Amino acid sequence: MTGSNELIALSAREAVRRLAAREISPLEFIDAALERIAVVEPAVNALPTLCAERARDHARRLTDLGDGDKRGRLHGLPVAIKDLMDVEDVRTTRGSPIHANRVPTDSHPLVERIEGRGGIVLAKSNTPEFGAGGNTFNEVFGRTLNPWNTSLTCGGSSGGAAVALATGEIWLAHGSDHGGSLRKPAAFCSIVGLRPSPGRVTRGTAANLYSPSSVEGPMARDVGDLALFLDTMAGVDPRDPLTRRAPDEPFLCAVERALDGDASVRPKRVAWTADLGGAAAVDREVREICEAAARKFEKIGVEVVEDCPDPGRIDEAFQILRALIFVVNREADLENHRDQLKADIIWNTEKGLALTASDIAWAERERAAYYGRMAAFFETYDALLLPCTPVPPFDVTLRYPPVIDGQAVDNYIAGSLITSAITLSGSPALSLPAGFTGDGRPVGLQMVGKPYGEADLLAAAALLEQETGLIGLVPIDPRVGTVPSTAYGREGDGKPKGE
């Protein structure tokens, strides 16, 4: 691996152990990350904004605190924050020309928590404009490229975070998820990401604080590191009415107990579905790779049954409720800065403005009914397994794949049922590397747990991660490649393009 030292290849858990033991200082980890970023960034564009001096100042303050709990759970480990979230005195653009030069004077409550627990913010990760889109590009910083093949998308909207982890630029990264914005990039980059239950992690200053649809969450290179970062993020925040107390046992302990053979955290029966019972279009190779990964549970005595709750018309409900959130968040921008908004945001906000009260009421009833069916389902199963994306990574010049398993896609969220249905279930969902297509594109398995059952979900994921044999494949050096013929081609083929 070029342009780095052995520190960037360490797991976050091992890095924290060495920091806690004072074998290595936070400043050394910052320098190792910056060295790696300097080498990798020209090829992938994942971390366009750095705050190195701010990070070094924070590292010195932590070092002066001495040993023990005063330095927090992360003990000075550098992390990346998605560019949707404010970090004090650091340029925060939200991927929009409207905020291209914005420098906030206060940090988001989640950033305060991460920094208060020993994380050091070193960089902001790239995102689509206002986080809207399944491909990470914007007018401020441009495209972020997939390190497994730089001709392909890394997904969105937490694309920069996923790429930074996969290439070893950072050890832990913050992401956010509405319709799959954290899960899909994790799948496309062969790393792990967790969409927690609503309220598990604070959303702090969000305008739609009472909506359970959008959440903040951790991203990492393996499940143990993911649990460590969730422990750092979780807990009550008086500024967020949905937050709840973190469990007494850290999430990382549940993972460690599972790997140590504790049967109490081992799932007994899980369900598998390739396409939500036929409701979602999913490419054949993705289905096959994900089923093979799910069936690996059988090797350790976990029953795998093909089953899923009836999704009903949850796809329609999601589009209505998502459009409503766009009105909450983007109505003023549409009125005052329409010429600076990309077409997808205009479309989604206008879709929301056209809704009737009856439309919204129906969608809420549909969501409630689906939640009830999911709750009943989890009385029989410990987890639901399904693909995390309907297609493998596609041409980076596209906003979205125009066809999924022979079905045309006519807008940027139309192919998201496989993740958006899970969003409206209120359940935690984790993306776990499942394998690679014949042409080398990563595929992720989505693992869904009971509401507020993150500990059991992480434990199950850690066990399956061991069985897949895919742990330890990242970090990698970026790889230049071409667009496979099944990834919809480049300019001149008549397909929709990226910008």
Give catalytic residues, as residue numbers: 82, 157, 181
- Cβ density class 31-57: b for 16+ within 10 Å, e for less: bbbbbbbebbbebbbbbbbbbeebbbe
Three-state SS letters, 333-389: HHHHHHHHCCHHHHHHHHHHHCCCHHHHHHHHHHHHHHHHHHHHHCCCCCEEEEECC
Specify whether the CB–CB gap between 341 and 306 falls below 8 A: no
Specify whether the CB–CB gap between 387 and 416 falls below 8 A: no
Sequence-distant (6+) residues with CB within 8 A of 461 are: 192, 223, 430, 432, 447
DSSP string, 62-117: HHHT-SGGGG-TTTTEEEEEETTS-BTTB---TT-GGGTT---SS--HHHHHHHHT
CA distance 159 to 30: 22
306's tokens: 């093909």
Residue found under tokens 């036929």: 278
DSSP string, 239-277: T-TT--PPPSS-HHHHHHHHHTT-GGGS-SEEEE-SSTT
